Structure 1
């Protein structure tokens, strides 16, 4: 079997992209929408398919409710204090056929955060790339025109889409654009000066 191309990956994740665009169309920030869809992609790997149901939701009230619930889950994943005072997520629970609740995310947050990072740094680089989807849509429109007999022949696959997908390819980053997340224990307070000293030595 031939290795998948970028076009294959984009086609496979079209439904994920549709949910991403739905969230953005309803006012969700780009980064939050990426994280939300990555979360649903991670859940799908566990066998909890919510994406295929979410893409079918057309009621704006339900979409906004889902956005609020996803925001609660992402907030839960960002918290370090182990608090369990989170808003319940009834719509997500029903979409998952009652197989998860907010406590699931709170209990498994370390595994989930690593899973989200893996998706965002891997296939997410392509799934959330607007330029790649523009290329795919233009190519698919040309293919549809060729099949309808409106053009002389099948168009060639654009170079950006024909490339073999390499999940291990590193994302180029300049040193100044890197981020680091640091957590500190409340039981062992640390002064600001000690932090600055550690990173400037």
Structure 2
């Protein structure tokens, strides 16, 4: 089965190698994932961002041992795929909940189609017990695989919707929630949000020089034409820049990159970079003049141009 992420090993290859392949190659690798996502947002008409999270959940299940989920799901009738998507939302709600599901058998079996389809034991109790691992894994797949592999389909689906896209189930790693906003809103943010609110600070490891073009390519490949301004640390010749400041066209891009975390680590061509939201340093408030300075100022003659 070529060009799929239907096993945990192939998904791992995708996560590790996403910065080394072209967008066309990346899409080809995730061909069947894109086919299933297209069914969700085009054939069925589900919310594009919600469907993106559903795909991340199913791909995470593949990664933790539920084999060939996407491939097998493509063999099902569209009506049944939609029912499984509804149960995926139930599972996601359980994963992000602070309250455990009731212990009643009826509630534990509220994802019966999923349990039957997976052919392995899976329940809301199981998902809740492993919610920390699930949230981290699903969010990672959402940001590093789904958004890149399905972005064109998602934007096309959003553009054809009569109402803005919304997210019904957030998938953050705790504590801060990860909130997604519709891309038709995000595209107009640049003119309304000041640059310092759309800026990110990235740092590099000493001894592993990172070039500006590498960082630009990384974010452009993964998040599209998102950079408005890029400022690398100015250094002497033969010295290494250790940080850079990036202003994005949309403040929402920072949320997508950081995935709800205050700091995120990425690998670019084998070199690590760390990213966080840029926090501007405000100048200290001016202090009142001392008595001596005030006296001099009062005695100084006025200046007439």
TM interval, short-chain normalised? 0.5 to 0.7
Equivalence for 1:175: 251
Which structure is larger by alpha-carbon Rg, 1 or 2? Answer: 2
Structure 1 unaligned blocks of 5 or more: 135-164, 182-201
Runs of 4+ residues over 4 Å off in structure 1 = 131-134, 169-173, 176-181
Q: Deviations over 1:14-72 (max 9, x none)?
A: 11111111122223211111001111111111221211111111252x22321221121
Structure 1 residues 81 and 102, CA gap change in structure 2 (3 angstroms): closer
Aligned to 1:189: none
- Greater fraction of residues in strand: 2
Q: In the alignment, which residue of structure 2 is the partner of 1:105?
A: 127
Q: In 2, distance between residues paired with 1:175 and 1:40?
A: 29
Distance 2:31 2:61 in 1: 17
Distance 2:148 2:119 in 1: 30
Q: Take 1:133 and 1:104, find their aligned partners in 2: how far apart are those partners?
A: 34
- Structure 1 stretch 125-134 or stretch 18-27: which is displaced more? 125-134
Provide the TM-score with structure 2 as the length reference.
0.42
The alpha-carbon distance between structure 1 residues 98 and 132, as it changes in their structure 2 partners (threshold 3 A), is: closer
1:5-24 equivalences under 5 Å are 5-24=22-41
Task: Point out the structure with the larger helix share.
Answer: 1
CA deviation after TM superposition for structure 1 residue 12, in Å: 1.3
CA contact 1:76–1:86 (8 Å) conserved in 2 = no
Q: Hey, what's the Cα distance between the residues in 1 that align with 2:37 and 2:154?
A: 14
d(CA) in 2 for partners of 1:131 and 1:54?
A: 19
- How many residue pairs get matched? 150
Structure with more contact order per residue of length (Cα contacts < 8 Å, sep ≥ 6): 1
Q: Per-residue deviation at 1:131?
A: 6.2
Pair 1:45 & 2:63 matched = yes
1:67 aligns with 2:85: yes
CA positional deviation for 1:130? 1.4
Long gaps (5+) in structure 2: 1-16, 157-216, 227-247, 261-305
CA distance in 1, matches of 2:252, 2:66: 38
Give the Cα separation in 1 of the matches to 2:152 and 2:33: 13
Report the 3-state secondary structure (helix = DSSP H, G, I; strand = E; otherwise coil) of the residue aligned with 1:106: helix
Give TM-score, length-normalised by structure 1: 0.62
Partner secondary structure for residue 123 of structure 1 = helix
RMSD: 3.3
Whole-angstrom CA distance in 2 between matches of 1:89 and 1:16: 22
